Amino acid sequence: MVKKITRDELIKMRKSGQRFILVDVLSKDSYEKEHIPGAISIPISELETKASSLLNKNDTIIVYCASFECMASTNAAEKLQAMGFSRVLDYKGGLKDYEEGGEKLEGSMHASADCSSVNCASCCACG
C-alpha cells in the first residue's frame, strides 16, 4: 500500500532539511511549464527505464502529479514499490494543492512577472 503525504508534511520535511527526492511524474512539457521547486522530472511513461539510474532504492522518494483527481502519482508510487523502492510517498494534492496552499511553483509559466504575457492570468507573479 502506498503511503500518502500532505502538503503540510512535505513543507515540514523541506524546512527541517530532511533528505528526500521530489519527483514530478507528469510529462516533460508539463514539468517545463511548472513544477514544485527542487523537483526532478521522471514522466510516468519513463519511470521503469529511468528510475534505477536516477534514484537510489534507499532514498525517500516523494512523487506528485497535477491534483487530487490525477492518478499518475499513485500509479508511479506503486510502480516504484514494485521495482524495490521501499521509501515512496505519494503527494496526492500535487501542483494544484501546492499552489493553492500559497506555495510558489517554478517553470516557464512562473519565470517572469511581465504582465503583458499571454499566460499571465495563470501566474501568481502579477496578482
Catalytic residues: 65
Matching residue, cell 513544477: 35
C-alpha cell recorded at residue 127: 496578482
What is the amino acid identity at position 84?
A: G
Helix or strand holding residue 79 (H, E): helix 72-82
Helix or strand holding residue 51 (H, E): helix 47-54
